Structure 1
Amino acid sequence: MARRAYSACLMRTGRIARKTAETDILVEVNLDGSGSYEISTGIGFLDHMIEQFSRHSLIDVTLKVDGDLHVDQHHTTEDSAIALGQAILDALGDKAGIGRYGHAYSPMDETLARVALDISGRPYLVWKAAFTQEKLGELDTELVEHWFHSVAQAAGITLHIELLYGQNNHHVCEAIYKGFARAMRSAVELDPRKGGAVPSTKGRLGG
């Protein structure tokens, strides 16, 4: 009963308003949502990928960006990931009771991606994937790795992403985002067996 009460009383939501000379961003997340989303970055393909993340992680995400796209896409892509990571970190609080670890194999037609992560408080990205074209829609594909690096840094995630095989660039990118979503779903979910304990022998995560 105590464990159920602990889970029920939590409001695991985060909100970040982030404004610079390059971007103006508002992000809201609910870790215990249903995967509903409202995404507007000004970059259609990036919107599509973040929508996939929300739907398959079951994390509700509102993300609105007004960025300097007249310059290029770099600031909007990077800052959207930073703000999203900060909102997730805010929603996690002290991380008590979470699964902490997550992993997923994500197939999409001829493509298979593998994602493993640890909400460790020690940000790190291992990226073993590549694209064979410069753009997906209007998104520069070189920014995909940078998006994941930025979200990992901001949220304090140790994140390993590997493309096992695949040819279609759209499938490669979407499989990676969906794998990240499924891994995050496992990692942020509350484990009732932990009774609210922080999942670390140190008594805290990170630092």
Structure 2
Amino acid sequence: MPELRRVYTTVDARDRILEAALTVFSDVGFAGATMRAIADAAEVSSGLIHHHFKDKESLWKLVGERISAEFQEAVSVGTELDDPALSLRRAIENYQRYWREHPRALRFQLWRVLGAPIEERKARSKLLNQHFVPKFTTAQEAGIVRNDIPAGLAMVTAGGLIQYFLHSDIETEDAIAVTGDAPLDDDQVLDYLLGLIAPARATGKKDTP
């Protein structure tokens, strides 16, 4: 099932090529991928891919840009609410849902940090941090997120743990099971993460000056 939204016409097959590139990159990463493997997955010639996308690095960059744009849009849906606590929960819930519904995009993200063209990774980081860190700053000002840590740290705490729960579900469930506890469902994961970044008064602890 396609994960990337179609933006090209069906005639030149560029959407099919990008979807195939996502599949190959998510399986073997940037270093392991070849233009021939992508062409085979898209059922087109290598020459057609080179014609449209030049080289593997250009194709990786474009796939990454598409994921980032669609991710940003998905996470932002329904978050412009009067209630800052509900807005924040909705954003984190959207974040969780996006990665769960886009497993190849999640694997692509993991390959980004394991070794891929650094320029695309830096561009994504700048784009998304400029968009989402201010939302956590607003949540801090509203008393929803603890203010004794940088807003960006609160954001990566929640986001990083959600990704871990998704890609390391076996390890997480096994660790919880050692003490006889049941695995967490998605709502319980959200409650746990929000508790980690909540102000100390919400957890019964004393705020740090």
Q: TM-score, normalised by structure 1?
A: 0.30
* Higher fraction of helix: 2
* Structure with larger Rg: 2
More strand by share: 1
